[in-house]
Amino acid sequence: MNRLYAATGDAVARLDETDGAWTVELSLRGSGAQCLAVDPTDPDVAFAGLREGGVQRTGDGAVSWADCSLPTTGVFSLAVSAADGAVYAGTEPSALYRSDDGGKTWRELEGLLDLPSRPTWSFPPRPWTSHVRWIAPSPHDADLLLVGIELGGLMRSTDGGRTWQDHRPGAQRDVHSLAWHPNVEGRAYEAGGGGAAWSEDAGETWTPADAGRDRHYTWSVAVDPDDPERWYVSASTGPFAAHGGSDPQARIFRRQDGEWRTLGGGLPEPIPAMPYAVVAADRRLFAGLADGQIWESGDRGDTWEPCALDGDALSELHALAPSAAYSAV
């Protein structure tokens, strides 16, 4: 059985697929869940980041949840390392925490806040603060870690987060999402507020990849596990269109052989809500829209169809992640 998890902004949804239909079951209702991370080795273990409630952990597939006692509350990003199982949590105000025992205890990676650029970090809607928007531990190297500050830069550590390199050359400073290629060491990808970029030297330097797209406010990034040259971003014309709640002016793009192509083939035109999550899983591509719709492609984005969702209603969607069980089938 395939499984996805979603953060709805108010709850966590577990979606199980049987015979082409997805059953949705909500938990952590009223929690303010806005981000999540799934243990890549266990489909029943997931973590939810709450806007004002820290981190919650489930070990039984979202049937029950337990508080992880993170030392602070405003969680904006989570990740579980495929290399060593470490759990990371990023917060607002910007801080980064690591747990090496499945979320039981945490230590702050204080070196991140020693970076020279820190005084310039500022999130435009709340300019007095910033947050850790994305955490990307390398699946190939337990000591290699990328972190995106919204808005401040793309930071890199090669020693498990003890020390950090400041914003990397060529990367977008307004980081929205990051991805590593699961099978090709050194390949990394970014979607940011001013465009997209990629790296072939493990995040040391970055190459902008924007020519050929008519929208440069990119939000979600995903990469084809079979081909490091094939990757995807969702994009809009700007933050007000993307998050304003009316016409997002959004598109999903695929980059292949160095060129971008706008994807359609069944997607609504215009797309009714911003694609907050683009996820590649087991040779399928999913797009989770802000209004709770989930669309699927089985041919790398050439054609799409809506996922049939039964059970609890999804009225919003902030994040989407496949479980370990998904890639195992």
Write down the pTM of the prediction.
Answer: 0.95
What are phi and psi for residue 258, nearest 5 degrees?
A: 80, 10
pLDDT of 324 over the 90 cut: no
- pLDDT for 20 equals 84
Q: What percent of the chain clears pLDDT 90, i.e. is strictly above it?
A: 94
pLDDT of 78 over the 70 cut: yes
- Per-residue pLDDT reduced to its tens digit, 261-284: 999 899 998 899 999 999 998 789
- pLDDT for 1 equals 57
- Per-residue pLDDT reduced to its tens digit, 125-153: 999 999 999 999 999 999 999 999 999 99
Q: Are strands 21-27 and 308-311 parallel, antiparallel or unpaired?
A: parallel
Sorted by where each starts, the structural domains of the chain and their CATH numbers stand as 2-328 (2.130.10.10)
pLDDT of 329 over the 50 cut: no
pLDDT of 295 over the 80 cut: yes
- pLDDT for 328 equals 37
